[in-house]
């Protein structure tokens, strides 16, 4: 019982730490909380958490060929990930927040697009796998004496920890969104879109430079 609690606590911690760095997905969640509301933003976080869970499962299963593949094709993956990030940035930069104000409140909201976009944006950065390996080692998450129910509880806790992080972020951002007017939302769209675009261009340029000029 004590070892199970050990796994659950560390699983939650790993889930939070994987999600906490304020990278592209964090900025997207903040933007969607301000523009679309808390629910679509949280759906985006669910997609990101699912992606992180897949990478954690790959790490736990000891698929060495995955890490070998990433190390071998790191530059190509960096280029592809940068292109995906640039596409998100351009869409975000051109988004008009006033459209959301004219959408009927009773219109049905489907979270699948937000989940898929959050998943794709997070999954397009497989280098996070090495961060997960470091966290697993730091927290002694995989021990030989653990049984199947330890692993099942641990991975569920990682997913729960990630969801807890996105729940908390969307809650606090939603609380302060009333202080933003339409112009503020427009500026936030442009600022976050510009930051994401710069991040993607830097990654793309560095990836292309290292790929063509070893």
Q: pLDDT class for 101, splitting at 50, 70, 90?
A: very low
Phi-psi region of 37 (alpha: psi -120 to 50; beta: other; left: phi over 0): left
pLDDT, one tens digit per residue, over 49-61 is 999 999 998 888 7
- Supply the pLDDT for residue 85: 72
Mean pLDDT rounded to a whole number for the chain: 79
- Supply the pLDDT for residue 105: 43
pLDDT, one tens digit per residue, over 167-200 is 999 998 888 877 766 666 677 667 767 877 887 7
Cα separation, 66 vs 64, whole angstroms? 5
Which tokens go with 212? 């063509």
Q: Which residue has the higher pLDDT, 113 or 73?
A: 113
Average pLDDT over residues 72-81: 75
Give, in order, the Cα–Cα distances in Å from 147 to each of 134, 135, 150, 160: 22, 20, 5, 20
Q: How many CB atoms lie within 10 A of CB 185?
A: 20
* pLDDT exceeds 60 at position 100: no
Average pLDDT over residues 144-162: 87
- DSSP state letter for 144: T
> Do 177 and 52 form a contact (C-beta atoms < 8 A)?
no
> Do 120 and 87 form a contact (C-beta atoms < 8 A)?
no
> Do 11 and 157 form a contact (C-beta atoms < 8 A)?
yes
Phi, psi (5° rounding) for residue 133?
-60, -40
């Amino acid at each position: 019982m004590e070892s199970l609690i050990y796994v659950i606590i560390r699983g939650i911690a790993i889930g939070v730490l994987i999600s906490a760095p304020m990278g592209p997905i964090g900025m997207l969640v903040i933007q969607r909380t301000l523009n679309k509301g808390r629910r679509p933003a949280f759906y985006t976080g669910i997609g990101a958490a699912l992606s992180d869970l897949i990478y954690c499962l790959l790490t736990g299963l000891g698929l060495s060929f995955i890490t070998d593949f990433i190390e071998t094709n790191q530059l190509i993956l960096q280029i592809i990930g940068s292109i995906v990030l640039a596409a998100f940035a351009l869409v975000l930069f051109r988004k008009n927040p006033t459209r959301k104000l004219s959408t009927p409140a009773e219109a049905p909201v489907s979270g699948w697009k937000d989940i898929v976009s959050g998943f794709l944006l997070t999954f397009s950065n497989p280098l996070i796998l090495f961060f997960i390996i470091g966290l697993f080692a730091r927290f002694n998450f995989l021990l030989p004496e653990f049984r199947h129910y330890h692993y099942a509880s641990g991975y569920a806790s990682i997913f729960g920890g990630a969801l807890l992080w996105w729940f908390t972020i969307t809650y606090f951002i939603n609380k302060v969104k009333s202080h933003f007017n339409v112009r503020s939302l427009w500026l936030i769209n442009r600022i976050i879109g510009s930051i994401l675009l710069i991040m993607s261009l830097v990654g793309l340029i560095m990836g292309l430079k290292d790929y063509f000029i070893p």
